[in-house]
Amino acid sequence: MVTTVGTEGSAAKLIQNLLQLEYDAIAAYDATIERLKDPGHSDRIAEFRRDHTRHVDELKEMAARMDIHVPTESDAKSLLTTGKVAIAKLGGDSAVLSAMKTNEDDTVAAYRHASQNAEADAPMKQIFERALEDELRHRAYMEEQGMGG
């Protein structure tokens, strides 16, 4: 499923929806860490989870500066993102990482859109571009390990 997050017509909605996406990503990372058997994969996924936590902190700071109300936790979509990971457990670490790769596709698309969104000012775009770099790195790892490993 292709996400429309990042294409919002207001800065407030943009930040709110990116935060929601990040909360969902963190929930999926938690589910993934619980299911991986290889400690090397678990350590790497925990590192990526910390990136998502940093993204949440940066988005919350941005929202505070702009006096935007922000969500504080994941919503029902996290059931979809964590559900894919739970089902994939049946196939082992490779299947779990492949499921996570589909979640990363959404975050890559969202930050790509956000970094080009006309509602975002230059400092916002800079933060979105850094997050996009993180997401591309995460997805590349998922592809390497999930698809080929």
Q: Which of 124, 82, 128 is nearest to 103 (CA)?
A: 82
Work out the average pLDDT over 79-91. 47
Residues 12-28 pLDDT 10s? 999 999 999 999 889 88
Q: Which of 110, 91, 113 is nearest to 24 (CA)?
A: 110
Residue 78, burial from CB neighbour count under 10 angstroms (0-12, 13-18, 19+):
buried
Domains of the chain, earliest start first: 11-67+75-148 (1.20.1260.10)
* pLDDT at 71 exceeding the cut of 90: no
DSSP H or E segment with residue 30 = helix 11-35
Find all residues with CB under 8 Å of 60, minimum gap 6, and list them.
19, 70
CB 83 within 8 A of CB 100: no
Total-model pTM: 0.84
* pLDDT at 43 exceeding the cut of 90: yes
